[in-house]
Structure 1
């Protein structure tokens, strides 16, 4: 039996270098969640944002590697809810419209 095909989403990183990531403060480690506080900035008493995602050329501070070649989330197991949800919107977490837009921003073909 052959191995299942690799999920290209796991090594792409285009979404992590394209979109703003806001999440509930309760997801921060200091609030009982899993997201490391040092990788987030406070927006208001209820909301935080992943560091780097609000730049003119967004790139999440947790992203490691080169987009489209070999990229990964440095806090994959502790990533915030919006990052978890993004991958669940399309079958196998790849190929939806937001994914295609993110990949296009980096000169990558849609999946």
Structure 2
């Protein structure tokens, strides 16, 4: 895991909206801390900060592309767990490449 650039890049955490089912919230049997989310309706919530014009998840710690990581990695919601799973080793898929480009970062070798 130490060699995995996904655990130190942060571009995806500062590029996309993150919506997920309310059942993933800590208070509803899941693991995502409620204080980092906004409930949208009875079924869906969103990670705070991900719906801003310049998105940045409230759980992101550090500087994107330099040294950044998810402050709730073990408790992150399903969209974050599933991000990049379509690419070999989970690295450098199309969404990752778009997120990195948004922050002036080169694509990961894939």
Band of TM-score, shorter chain? over 0.9
Runs of 4+ in 1 over 3 A off after TM superposition: none
Distance 1:5 1:38, change over 3 A: closer
Q: Is the 8 A contact 2:9 2:66 kept in 1?
A: yes
Partner of residue 12, structure 1:
9
- In the superposition, the TM-score normalised over structure 1's length comes to 0.94
Structure 2 length-normalised TM? 0.94
Any stretches of 5+ residues in structure 2 without a counterpart?
Answer: none
Output the CA distance in 2 between the equivalents of 1:24 and 1:5: 30
* 1:89 Cα deviation after fit: 2.1
Q: Deviations over 1:44-67 (max 9, x none)?
A: 100000000000000000000000
Give the superposed CA RMSD. 1.3
Any idea what SS the aligned residue of 2:8 has? helix
1:92 — aligned with what? 89
Asked whether the equivalents of residues 84 and 92 of structure 2 are also in contact (C-alpha less than 8 Å), the reply is: no
Q: Tell me the SS of whatever aligns to 2:32.
A: coil
1:54-106, Cα deviation, whole Å (9 max, x unpaired): 00000000000000000000000000000000032211211100000000000
Q: Shift of residue 34 of structure 1? A: 0.1
Which structure has the larger Rg?
A: 1
